[in-house]
Structure 1
Amino acid sequence: MSSTEATAEMQSEQLGRDTVVHALLDALFTHLLRDIAVQRATQGAGFSHAVRDPHIRRAVSLMHEDCARDWSLETLARAVGMSRSVLAERFREAMNDTPLAYLRTVRLQRAMRLLAESTSTLEQIATMVGYTDAFAFSKAFKRAVGQSPGEYRRERAAEERSGLRFPAADAIGR
């Protein structure tokens, strides 16, 4: 479809116009993301570089799908069909981080979202994101974020009440 046809579709009043326009925008967005990933993959380490390696992409996906699992380098390597040393080396090259440090980041990002969007207790959130207890979770959270989980939750709730942020703002980039 040409840009002229796309413009005509957006301006038309035909049945199904909104569906067609949304589908076109989805396709355009996907192509743009693909182009950005290709461009960035040549610039060094990072997520766009990692998705080009099927083993690293699978490791990243597994951590995102089940961050609460008791992952070790051994279990992750076995799950993606690699040795520990090869996984560690290729992951570091692709992501500029170790697999377990990346897992910690995934866990804390998920925890931040749960703190902002749920009423789950700290103990429940700790379990949901792979920590053995609320104390270990709180310690890791404060070290990474700079404030306790309770402070973070109260601050997000205050921002929500004041209208300073959109409800889904924390989900951007995840």
Structure 2
Amino acid sequence: MTAFHISLVGRKNLSGEIYRQIRRAVLDRRLRPGDPLPPGRELARTLAVSRATVTVVYERLAAEGFVTSRQGSGTFISELVVPAGREKTGRRSTGVLQPRRIWEAIAPPPAFEPVRFDFHAGFCDASLFPHGAWRRAVVWALRSGEATAGTYE
């Protein structure tokens, strides 16, 4: 397991501080893609915080794409795409890290051929609607209506 240090001396927002330190370790490449994080119970015991605090941190890191959790296997550092320019200058970028794009590797579904009979629920055959009668009824209502026609008064 990759060693990294988290310091909580004199901190009030424990989950925020743990999150920031793990995130910084990922961004600084002290934690590399595929590296495992300690189990939640173990990290909570080591830092003398509740397991719920560590769970909140791991869930936030997962939601932002920094880690992936595998049931029964643990939590691992995700493969991240570094914003353009960060590697070249070594300075902080204002861009946001994005999780690796895996959707581009998935093939699109085959093109569907048009169906002869559309059995989708809730759809009517538009050719059966009495458009002429509807138009005449609307014109009659607008011509004979009051100034408040079409309102809720």
Please report the TM-score for the alignment, with normalisation by the length of structure 2: 0.28
Q: Please tell me whether Structure 1 or Structure 2 has the larger radius of gyration of its CA atoms.
A: 2
Query: Which one has the bigger helix percentage?
Result: 1
